[in-house]
Amino acid sequence: MSRKRGINKGAIFLDADDRYPFRRLLRTAFRDHGIALHAFVLMDNHFHLLVTPDAVRSLLRAMGWVGQSYVQAFNLGHRR
């Protein structure tokens, strides 16, 4: 299981429009890195993923890419 919180437990999803690009990024990263996603929950300030990676480091690489890509999209969308 993987879990990630916002800085100082702050919100990482401000509205429903933030969740869609995050889910799209997860789908792309997991497909490209051979990770099976079994379940997920997106809370306002964190998320939970139940996953099975094919390789030891694939989850690390996938989530690094998702995190960097999502932060850029979030900051652009919220003019930060």
Alpha carbon distance 65, 61 (integer Å): 6
pLDDT band at 8 (very low <50, low <70, confident <90, very high): low
Q: According to the model, what pLDDT value does residue 72 have?
A: 92
User: Per residue in 30-72, pLDDT tens?
Assistant: 999 999 999 999 999 889 999 999 998 999 999 999 999 999 9
Q: According to the model, what pLDDT value does residue 78 have?
A: 83
Distances in Å between the alpha carbon of 69 and those of 21, 38, 54? 9, 22, 22
Amino acid at 50: L
2-73 adopts what CATH topology?
Answer: Alpha-Beta Plaits (3.30.70)
Nearest to 5 by CA among 15, 28, 60, 13: 13
Q: According to the model, what pLDDT value does residue 4 have?
A: 53
Nearest to 51 by CA among 62, 35, 66: 35
Q: According to the model, what pLDDT value does residue 6 have?
A: 58
pTM of the model: 0.82
